[in-house]
Amino acid sequence: MKRLIVDMDGVLADVSAQFIAYDERDTSRRKTVAEITGLPELEMVPRANEYLRMPGFFRNAPLITGSREVLEQLNRRYELFVVSAAIEYPKSLGEKVEWLGEHFPFIGWQRIVLCGSKHIVRGDIMIDDHFKNLDFFEGRTVLFTQPHNHGQDSRRHERVNSWSEVAALLL
Amino acid sequence: MKRLIVDMDGVLADVSAQFIAYDERDTSRRKTVAEITGLPELEMVPRANEYLRMPGFFRNAPLITGSREVLEQLNRRYELFVVSAAIEYPKSLGEKVEWLGEHFPFIGWQRIVLCGSKHIVRGDIMIDDHFKNLDFFEGRTVLFTQPHNHGQDSRRHERVNSWSEVAALLL
C-alpha cells in the first residue's frame, strides 16, 4: 500500500478564506479572491501573521470543497498521513488535531504529523500547496492550486485545481 | 551531515519521575524506581493514563540528567530533530513545544516533530526508549534505558544507560 502524505492548510482547510473573513471583520470590506491571487500567503491581508496566532483561527477554518469525500476514499486505497507544518504556531497544535477529529474522523491520531519542516517525512505521494514542501520530497508530487501559488511554474509537480481533480488522478 | 532523531519522553523528559511524583501526591507514598522497573509505562502507577492527559504534566516534567549539555553538542555535529509521538494527547502538544523552548532553546521549531506513529520519519540515527519506534527505523538505533525497557533484549539496538553514554557513542 502506497503512503500518501496530505497537507492540511490550503489543501484540507481553507486558510485563504479564513484570512479574508478575519480581514473583513477588521476592515468591513471583503477582499475578492482576485485581489489576493498571486500574493504570498502572509501578504494576502495586512494582519495575516497575527491572525495565524489567534485562538480559533485554525479550529474554525472552513473545509475545502470535496476534501472530506475524496480523502475518505483515498484512505481506503493508501496509507494516508496528514502532515502539517504547524510547530511555529504552538497554539494551533491542539486546534488542528480537534479540527481533524471533527471533519475527518476516519483519520486516527496515528496518522497525524505536526512538524516544523517536512523534509523529515517519507512517503510515495505528497499533496501540498507549497513548493518548499514538494521540492524536497522524493516521491510523486501533486501541487494543490491556491491563490498564493497561482501562475507559478509547477516544474516536476502535477497541478490539481480541486479535490475532484485529485480523485481523477489518484483513485 | 547525518540526521539524528531524538525522542522526547523517557529520553529528554523524565516521564517516569513525573509519574512517581503525581502518584505520590495522590497516595502520600513515594514509589521507588525498583518498584516500577520492568512494568509497562502505563502500569507504573495506577492513574498513569489520566496523568498523561492532565494540563501541566508535560510542561513541568523534569529533565533527564545530562540531556541538555550533550544535546547541545550533538546539535553542532548532526542535523538534529526531536520527534515525539504525542498526537494521542492533544493537550500536551503546546506544552511540549513550550517545554523544549525552555530547556533546549537551541532547537528551532523547524526541528520539532509531533506525530502519532514514528514510522513516517527518516534519518540516520534514532535515540528512543521504545522498541516500537526503533524496530521500524531503517538507520542506526540507540535504546535509551528506562525502567519500562529494563531487562528487555535489545536485539539490533545499541543500549545506553545515560546521556554520558550517548556522548561516548556519538560525539
Report pLDDT digits (tens) over A45-104.
999 999 999 999 999 999 999 999 999 999 999 999 999 999 999 989 999 999 999 999
Question: Is B107 in the A-facing interface, judged by CB distances under 8 Å?
Answer: no
Q: Which residues of B are catalytic?
A: 7, 9
B154 or B73, which is more confident? B73
CA of B117, closest CA in chain A: separation in Å?
Answer: 5
Q: What is the pLDDT of residue B142?
A: 97
CA–CA distances in Å: residue B2 to residues B58, B75, B80, B139, B141: 29, 11, 8, 11, 13
Q: pTM of the entire structure?
A: 0.94
Assign B156 a pLDDT band (cuts: 50, 70, 90).
confident
Assign A111 a pLDDT band (cuts: 50, 70, 90).
very high
pLDDT tens, position by position, B14-47: 999 999 999 999 999 999 999 999 999 999 999 9
pLDDT tens, position by position, A122-133: 999 999 999 999
Assign A39 a pLDDT band (cuts: 50, 70, 90).
very high
Question: Is B132 in the A-facing interface, judged by CB distances under 8 Å?
Answer: no
Q: What is the pLDDT of residue A155?
A: 75
Cell 510547530 found at: A87
User: Are A116 and B110 a contacting pair at CB < 8 A?
Assistant: yes
B63 or A153, which is more confident? B63
- Take residue A123 and report the three cell numbers written for it: 512517503
Compute the average pLDDT of residues B65-87.
Answer: 98
Arithmetic mean of pLDDT over chain A: 96
Arithmetic mean of pLDDT over chain B: 96
User: Are B114 and A111 a contacting pair at CB < 8 A?
Assistant: no
- Take residue A44 and report the three cell numbers written for it: 494576502
Question: Is B115 in the A-facing interface, judged by CB distances under 8 Å?
Answer: yes
Assign B155 a pLDDT band (cuts: 50, 70, 90).
confident
pLDDT tens, position by position, B107-133: 999 999 999 999 999 999 999 999 999
Nearest CA in chain B to A90: B94
- ipTM exceeding 0.90? yes
Question: Is B93 in the A-facing interface, judged by CB distances under 8 Å?
Answer: yes
- Take residue A51 and report the three cell numbers written for it: 491572525
A7 is catalytic: yes
Helical (H) or strand (E) element with A91: helix A90-103
User: Are A94 and B91 a contacting pair at CB < 8 A?
Assistant: yes
User: Are A93 and B91 a contacting pair at CB < 8 A?
Assistant: no
CA of B136, closest CA in chain A: separation in Å?
Answer: 13
Q: What is the pLDDT of residue A163?
A: 98
Taken in order A102, A104, A108, A109, the sign of the CA dihedral is negative
Q: What is the pLDDT of residue B7?
A: 98
User: Are B97 and A87 a contacting pair at CB < 8 A?
Assistant: yes
A94 contacts in B (CB within 8 Å)?
90-91, 93-94
Assign B153 a pLDDT band (cuts: 50, 70, 90).
confident
